[in-house]
Amino acid sequence: MYILFYYFYTSGSFIFPLALVSDVTFSIFFSFLAFITFAVKLPIYGVHFWLPMAHVEAPTFGSIILAGVLLKLGGIGLLRLSPLISLSLLSTLLLSYLMFALSFVTLICCFQSDLKRLVAYSSVSHMIAIPILLLSNSSLAFKSSVILIFFHGISSPLLFMCVGVIYSVFSTRQIVLLRGLLLFSPLFSLILIIAFVFTMSTPPFPSYVAEVAFLVFSYSLTHYIILPFFLFTFFSIVYNLN
């Protein structure tokens, strides 16, 4: 609401498409406010603590809608407001935190015992790539973020659907108790493996292109992101193969 009135004060109109052709740019305060508003919905670790509990308590259909549609609105909002946000100023404020969260959330995934909570935290870890791509302030980075949002909106609901099927068969989501699925249903085991490989963004899945672009554009922001990106990749392999 504050952003709409600020835009009306500077441009004289509530019509948002005019922002694409106007010279209006938010100050650092309103840029940070706009970023945090959509970061809660994206989600970004540190501002969205209720997400894993919401996924655990929600039914399978609710988790699919939440992960596939509702949580992607945060990334769409950031893309829509990117012409108005001072991305260069936000980069100096938030890049260090995003680098820390990129590796820390992935480490948290390695210690999860509940399969549904693991999928929820993996969604949080992957979505941190969206603001880093936006902070690089490149048209190709924006296109890569759209690719990442789209294919994550497919892989994450697929994982939640698989978790729902597993819970209906075993009546538990504890990873240590989920044994013998390959003997019970080889076809579903193959689907589950494909879903986790799809989440890892390995070739030949199209999300691999977005992950490569994420590495390139994040490296253009700072050279120190190589270590968080290496930890992010390593811990992602650990919990997905687990």
35 residue type, one letter: F
pLDDT value at residue 14: 46
Q: What are phi and psi of 84, to 5 degrees?
A: -100, -20
Residue-wise DSSP of 140-193:
HHHHHHHHHHHHHHHHHHHHHHHHHHHHHHHS--BGGG---HHHH-HHHHHHHH
pLDDT value at residue 46: 75
Closest-CA residue to 130 (of 154, 151, 107): 151
| 3-state class (DSSP) for residue 215 | helix
pLDDT value at residue 8: 56
pLDDT per residue as tens digits for the range 20-43: 445 556 677 777 787 888 888 887
pLDDT value at residue 60: 83
Here the tokens at position 230 are: 């290496």
pLDDT value at residue 68: 82
For the chain, which residues score pLDDT lower than 70?
1-26, 49
pLDDT value at residue 18: 45
pLDDT value at residue 10: 62
C-alpha 19: how far from its chain's center?
A: 26
pLDDT value at residue 13: 53
